[in-house]
C-alpha cells in the first residue's frame, strides 16, 4: 500500500469512527474530511498521529483541533457551497482547507505571523486557491471582504466580538466557543436574523485556547 493510499484509508476510518459515529452527517463535510490530507498540516514527526482523535501540537505552541471538532463546527455553519466564509484562528490552515471544499471563498485571519506563513505555504502547496490568509488581530475580523455568510472562530472569547457580528450578513451563521478563560465554555451558533436581531443556540460544551486581541482576552 502506498504512503498516500495508507493515509487515505486512515482518513476514511477517522471519518467513520470519530465523526460519522458521533452524529456529523452532512455528506459534503464528511467528504471534505476524507479528502483534505490532515497529515500535511501537522508538524514533522507527527504524521502517524494525524488521524488520531485528539488535538496535536503545531508551531508557536498552538494546536490543530481534533478532527471531530473541525467537522462538527464546519457542519454547524450549514454551508451550501456558494458562501464567503471568515475563519478566525488559521492555526495550521487545516480547517480552512476543509472550509475551502464547502464554500466559494474563505478568508482566514491568524495573529501569529509564523503560523500565517506556514498555513499559507501548505495551502499553496496543496493547490487550494480559494483561501486567503491574513495576519492580523482576528477579534476585529477582516472588514475588507465583509459581509460574510458564515464566520467560525477557533478560540474561546468572553463574548462574541462586536466586530464579527457587524461583519456577518443578515441570515449568516457564526460559530464560536464562548466562556471562561480557563473553565466552562460553550460552543454557540449565532444567526443574524435581522439588522439588529440575532438568534443564539448552545451546541455543546467545549474547551478551547483563549481568543486574544482587542475584542477578546488580553494577549
What residues are annotated to the active site? 65
* Measured torsion, CA atoms of residues 53, 212, 123, 135, in degrees rounded to the nearest 10: -170
CA 175, 145, 149, 170 torsion: positive or negative? Answer: positive
The beta-strand segments (E) located in 24-141 are 56-57, 63-64, 84-88, 105-110, 131-135
Task: For residue 140, give the C-alpha cell.
Answer: 476585529
User: For residue 16, what are the CA distances in angstroms to 12, 109, 114, 214?
Assistant: 6, 30, 33, 40
Q: Cis link prior to 88 (omega < 30° from 0)?
A: no
Q: Is residue 191 within 8 Å of 171, Cβ to Cβ?
A: yes
Region of residue 180 (phi > 0: left; psi between -120 and 50: alpha; otherwise: beta): beta
Amino acid at each position: 500500500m502506498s504512503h498516500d493510499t495508507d493515509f487515505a484509508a486512515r482518513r476514511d476510518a477517522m471519518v467513520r469512527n470519530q465523526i460519522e459515529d458521533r452524529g456529523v452527517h452532512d455528506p459534503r463535510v464528511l467528504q471534505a474530511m476524507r479528502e483534505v490530507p490532515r497529515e500535511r498540516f501537522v508538524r514533522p514527526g507527527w504524521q502517524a498521529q494525524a488521524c488520531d482523535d485528539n488535538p496535536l501540537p503545531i508551531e508557536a505552541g498552538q494546536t490543530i483541533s481534533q478532527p471531530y471538532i473541525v467537522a462538527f463546527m464546519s457542519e454547524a455553519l450549514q454551508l451550501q457551497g456558494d458562501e464567503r466564509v471568515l475563519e478566525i484562528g488559521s492555526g495550521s490552515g487545516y480547517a480552512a482547507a476543509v472550509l475551502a471544499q464547502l464554500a466559494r471563498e474563505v478568508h482566514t485571519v491568524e495573529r501569529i505571523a509564523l503560523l500565517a506563513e506556514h498555513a499559507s505555504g501548505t495551502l499553496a502547496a496543496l493547490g487550494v486557491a480559494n483561501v486567503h490568509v491574513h495576519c492580523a488581530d482576528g477579534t476585529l475580523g477582516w472588514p475588507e471582504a465583509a459581509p460574510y455568510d458564515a464566520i467560525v472562530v477557533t478560540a474561546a472569547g468572553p463574548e462574541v466580538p462586536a466586530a464579527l457580528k457587524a461583519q456577518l450578513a443578515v441570515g449568516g451563521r457564526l460559530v464560536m466557543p464562548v466562556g471562561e478563560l480557563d473553565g466552562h465554555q460553550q460552543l454557540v451558533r449565532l444567526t443574524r436574523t435581522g439588522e439588529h436581531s440575532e438568534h443564539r443556540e448552545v451546541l455543546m460544551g467545549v474547551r478551547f485556547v483563549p481568543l486574544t486581541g482587542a475584542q477578546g482576552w488580553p494577549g
